[in-house]
Chain A
Amino acid sequence: MGANGSGNGAAGGWSPGLRESALFDRNAIAEIQRKAREGIYDIRGFGAKRKVPHFDDLLLLGASVSRYPLEGYRERCDTSVTLGDRFAREPIELEIPITIAGMSFGALSAPAKEALGRGASAMGTSTTTGDGGMTPEERGHSDKLVYQLLPSRYGMNPDDLRRADAIEVVVGQGAKPGGGGMLLGQKISDRVAEMRDLPKGVDQRSACRHPDWTGPDDLEIKIGELREITDWRVPIYVKMAASRPYFDVALAAKAGADVIVLDGMEGGTAATQDVFIEHVGIPLLAAIPEAVESLKDLGLHRKVQLVVSGGIRSGADAAKALALGADAVSVGVAAMIAIGDNDPALEAEYAKIGTAAGFYDDWQAGQDPAGISTQDEALAARFDPELGGRRLANYLRAMVLEIQTLARACGKSDVRNLEPEDLVSLTIEAAAMARVPLAGTKWIPGLDEDD
């Protein structure tokens, strides 16, 4: 999809007599016209573009007379987190509570994956493989690498499994709960084709269900097999899309997951139907309290760690997610932007492919002028992985400073001491979903007085 303005009036400005329909706005009209021409749904990258209740609808309560704050910069505010100490002999120790989400080689170029590894390693955190397997560049540049086991099993092999620092069983992704994947033929280079055991240039469909297990009882046995193959060394995560998190989290935890990765409907994707991105799943804000309640009901909160993702942009978003009870957050789209996606310096290049910096989301098409979401060698060669890595590290560093600033203001010596009591909501919707009171009231819609 190209650039779309918003607001009233014709392109170029409002003039008297022009009134845009709220329902049939320019996006809706353009999409009807496109469907009529092409006869197919829109596939794109990025995450949901519609507005959903989000962390912007929450505020933190800084300390005052009734609480006292910690001294900014001087008093310690710990950011480290251990993931997967429930069953694994070697849990993952992260220095910061932000990880890099699974993004496949195939969706991203090899140098882009390298940049993610460099930036994350500089900050003492982990990166994650994706659909398509593990590349040597990625393993080489990521001190801590999480290896995904996806339904497609593209590139899955036991050597990489044993080389990984953690294994993530992917049940679903926030951008497409219940959906599989598709890497379009134009992104299938020789190398991608070989890693996935498919002919070059064909669409690579990824199944939506795992080939060798179905329900939660099977999942428990599957996790057992992965532990056996890796001699119970590394943690096993289960990643799921947020749709019925209370039950899904409980079943995954019961099946033996060390870590739950919960991806809200805002979560990014490399290539998914727009209708899926915008209309399936629940916002992260609503999902975290359900997941935390589920873990608490099992006596497993903080024992099975909760990593959350979906639309995390800033330290403020992360701090609020931690306050709701997550142990860490994960970023996808933000990491891509940090390493150079949607860079205004490429404006002329974006214009050539009918889009604009700040709007580019055709990550499925493989024409990325920044050399990130592409397998075109010439485009990928433009991307500097060292610079990208430095930018990612800078971005993560700034985010961590933001989280610490907010945590200290709330009087916390550890970012994970942030709690729901530190939050209020700006809207009734967010108050109901996040289960924190509407600012200035004690009101949490949906909770009885004695809850």
Chain B
Amino acid sequence: MSTETALEVVDLSQTSVRELNQRLHDAASGGPQAWQVVHPGGLHSIAAGLDAPLDVDIDGHVGYYCAGMNKEATVRIHGNAGVGLAENIMSGSVVVDGDASQSAGATGHGGLVVIRGNASTRCGISMKGVNIVVGGDVGNLSAFMAQKGALVVCGDAGEALGDSIYETHIYVRGSVASLGADCIEKEIGEFHAGELSGLLEESGVDADPGEFRRYGTARRLYNFDIDNAGDY
């Protein structure tokens, strides 16, 4: 029998994702709080829907929607992550040592997503309050229609960064291939400098905040105006 402090090990070459997730969901009402998942084998929806301050370490690569809709839990992926990593995350944190595929942190409402490698296209799409820190580059159309929260990119950003953006703050250290509609470069004031260094520190990513530039909304598309029709 496990105790509350013991590390609970689940081997996904022996146990189904369904059984793992059920046990993690049941742990919200008591039981082991620290979990280690081995042989994840790129399976989908690992640790989706967690709803408690659990600590979950995953040793290997994960498929789609790992830690989807996470609340409170800390999930660490020691490998790469597939599409929709931590999509719609509400709180807690999700950390990937490797790269993440498309739509990482999509529509996230809160919490922190850290990708130490690169993130593919549409990173932070429609983000609604989550903070995302990427150690490497992000692909095209990242922060598309991003509403709230911050996206920090320590490498380069692809085409159409922040297209149709609302109030998300974007920080990029490297180059930006192009900015999307209604996204412009903005000054880094005191508030933003503090936000940026805070996020770098919290995510344990080593980068000099002074080397970043900030991008955000021009607020030109906020209310329909026929003269901007070509930009929609």
Known interface pairs A197-B109, A202-B223, A232-B18; A152-B126 also in contact (CB < 8 Å):
yes
In contact, B103 and A203 (Cβ under 8 angstroms): no
Answer whether residue A224 sits at the interface, using C-beta atoms and an 8 A cutoff: yes
Taken together as a complex, chains A and B put the C-alpha atoms of A158 and B109 apart, in Å, by: 11
Chain B: which residue is nearest A149 at the CB level?
B88
Which residues does chain B contribute within 8 Å of A247, judged by CB atoms? none
User: Is A158 a contact of B49 with CB atoms below 8 Å?
Assistant: yes
Docked Cα-Cα span, A362 to B71, in Å, equals 40
Question: Is the CB of A213 closer than 8 A to any CB of chain B?
Answer: yes
Picked from A197, A201, A222, the residue with its CB within 8 Å of the CB of B129 is A197
- Stretch of A103-111, A204-212, A349-357 lying at the B interface: A204-212
Name which of B49, B68, B109, B222 has the most chain A CB atoms within 10 A of its CB: B49
The smallest beta-carbon distance between A180 and chain B, in angstroms, is 10
A225 near B65: Cβ-Cβ < 8 Å: yes
B87→A212 contact, CB < 8 A: yes
> A143-165, CB under 8 A of B: which get 1 and which 0?
00000000011001111011000
Please tell me which one of the listed residues B25, B68, B148 contacts residue A225 in the complex, with CB atoms under 8 A apart: B68
In the complex the two chains form, is A228's CB within 8 Å of B166's CB? Answer: no
CA distance A196 to B109 in the complex (A): 10
Chain B contact residues: helix, strand, loop or mixed: loop
Q: Which of B44, B166, B223 meets A198, CB within 8 Å?
A: B166
A231 touches B222 (CB 8 A): no
| Known contacts A158-B71, A213-B84, A229-B69: A199-B44 contact under CB 8 Å | no
Assess A212 versus B106: contact at CB under 8 Å? Given A197-B128, A225-B45, A232-B18. Answer: yes
CA distance A205 to B232 in the complex (A): 10
Tell me which residues across on chain A come within 8 A of B175, comparing CB atoms: none
Q: Check: B159 CB closer than 8 A to any chain A CB.
A: no
Chain B: number of interface residues, binned into ranges: 35 or more
Top 3 nearest A-B pairs by Cβ distance? A229-B49, A212-B84, A153-B107
Which B residues touch A29, using CB under 8 A? none
- B83 — which chain A residues lie within 8 A by C-beta? 212-213, 218, 221
With known contacts A212-B103, A228-B45, A229-B68, A157–B126 Cβ distance under 8 A: no
**In the bound complex, do residue B49 and residue A207 qualify as a contact, i.e. CB atoms below 8 Å apart?**
no
Asked whether any CB of chain A lies closer than 8 Å to the CB of B122, the reply is yes
**Residues of the A chain whose Cβ atoms lie less than 8 Å from the Cβ of B25:** 231
A343 to chain B, nearest CB (A): 30
Whole-angstrom distance between the alpha carbons of A410 and B22 in the complex?
48
Flag whether B140 is at the interface (Cβ < 8 A).
no
Q: Dominant SS at the A interface?
A: loop
Q: Of A153, A201, A231, which contacts B22 at CB under 8 A? A: A231
> In the assembled complex, which residues on chain A have CB atoms less than 8 Å from the CB atom of B126?
152-153, 207, 211
* A binding-site residues for B, Cβ under 8 Å: 38-40, 152-153, 156-159, 161-162, 184-185, 196-199, 201-203, 205, 207, 211-213, 218, 221-222, 224-225, 228-232
Is B48 close to A, CB under 8 A? yes
Query: Inside 8 A of B224's CB, which chain A residues have their CB?
Result: 40, 184, 203
- C-alpha spacing A231/B22, complex, angstroms: 7
Distance, CA A280 to CA B38, complexed state (A): 49
* CA–CA, A199 and B148, complex, Å: 10
Asked if B147 is at the interface (CB within 8 A of a chain A CB), the reply is yes
Q: What are 16 sample pairs from A and B whose C-beta atoms fall under 8 A apart?
A: A153-B88, A158-B69, A159-B71, A162-B49, A185-B223, A197-B148, A201-B222, A203-B224, A211-B125, A218-B64, A221-B83, A222-B84, A225-B44, A225-B45, A228-B48, A231-B21
Closest CB-CB distance, B106 to chain A, in whole Å?
Answer: 4
Interface residues of B in 132-186 (CB under 8 A from A): 144-145, 147-148, 164, 166-167
Interface residues of B (CB under 8 A from A): 17-18, 21-22, 25, 44-45, 48-49, 51, 63-65, 68-69, 71, 83-84, 87-88, 90, 102-103, 106-107, 109, 122, 125-126, 128-129, 144-145, 147-148, 164, 166-167, 221-224, 226, 229
Assembly CA distance A370 to B91 (angstroms): 40
For B129, the chain A residues whose CB sits under 8 A away are 197
Q: In whole angstroms, what is the CA distance A185 to B222 when docked?
A: 8
| Chain B residue nearest in CB terms to A156 | B88
| In the complex with contacts A211-B126, A229-B68, A231-B25, A156-B107 CB distance below 8 A | yes
Contact between chains at A199 and B166 (CB < 8 Å): yes
Give the Cβ gap from A388 to chain B, nearest Cβ, in Å: 31
Contact B226 A40 (CB under 8 A): yes
Complex-state Cα separation, A221 to B62, whole angstroms: 13
Would you call A203 and B109 a contact (CB within 8 A)?
Answer: no
Query: Would you give the shortest CB distance from A375 to chain B, in whole angstroms?
Result: 16
Chain B contacts for A39, CB-based, 8 A: 226
A205 with B147: CB separation less than 8 A: no
Q: Is the CB of B88 within 8 A of A228?
A: no
Cα A270 to Cα B74 in complex, Å, equals 40
Asked whether A212 lies within 8 Å of B65 as measured between CB atoms, the reply is yes
B129 CB to closest chain A CB (Å) equals 6
Taking a contact as CB atoms under 8 Å apart, the answer to whether A211 and B122 are in contact is yes
Max chain B C-beta neighbours (<10 A), residue from A39, A152, A156, A230: A156
B68–A203 contact, CB under 8 A?
no
